[in-house]
Chain A
Amino acid sequence: DAKTTQPNSMESNEEEPVHLPCNHSTISGTDYIHWYRQLPSQGPEYVIHGLTSNVNNRMASLAIAEDRKSSTLILHRATLRDAAVYYCILRQNNAGNMLTFGGGTRLMVKP
């Protein structure tokens, strides 16, 4: 899978929006952008994914740059429960279904 770059950590205040950036300048035309998060002492959980258009679901929004070389995961109102490591992953078509995790961004939420 193509490489992604994320900040090591970010801080947010509770109930404020959070924008988690991800750079993927080597993305190919068929790569999907996936976001997973890992809460403390738990397994990773799926958050959202997209290809070209912005996406919204009950957990978050995904904003994808027009050239697709970067994307931003948006948590509209951070809660303490959102404190986790957030992983941005590129998934290729026919890549054997395996996820390649990078270092992710550790999000800390302050009350």
Chain B
Amino acid sequence: DTAVSQTPKYLVTQMGNDKSIKCEQNLGHDTMYWYKQDSKKFLKIMFSYNNKELIINETVPNRFSPKSPDKAHLNLHINSLELGDSAVYFCASSQELTSGQETQYFGPGTRLLVL
């Protein structure tokens, strides 16, 4: 069974549309994340979320919002899509550890193309 799964794998849409990417983890982890990997292959954290706290990277536009229906899911909603949103989005999860030793498990990525 896939530990961290994302749907869809590919998403092609028009500028201005609103879309969602779903993420599910079956590892029983407390914390989930969203990362963005742009065309230059740099991976940047967007959000870190557990049932207590949402930490937002201050550079993320407020058109992006994470929604967690339960501990195993963290979906990413994007409003008014722009060309610059085209990227690969990765979901990840980990146990909530504050020692600096936690391991993150990543999903396979969702390739978003905005036309």
Contacts and interface: CB of A to CB of B under 8 A. Distances in A.
Contacts of B42: 101, 103
Interface stretch (A14-22, A37-45, A75-83): A37-45
B112 interface: no
Contact of A31 (B97, B100, B105): B100
**Interface size class of chain A, counting residues whose CB lies under 8 Å from the partner chain:** 20 to 34
B106 A97 contact: no
Nearest to A90: B100
A31 B45 CA distance: 19
Given A42-B108, A91-B101, 11 more contacts: A32-B100, A38-B43, A43-B109, A93-B100, A94-B98, A96-B48, A97-B31, A97-B96, A97-B97, A98-B55, A99-B35
Contacts of B108: 42-43
Interface of A: 30-32, 36, 38, 41-46, 49, 85, 87, 91-101, 103
B100 A95 contact: yes
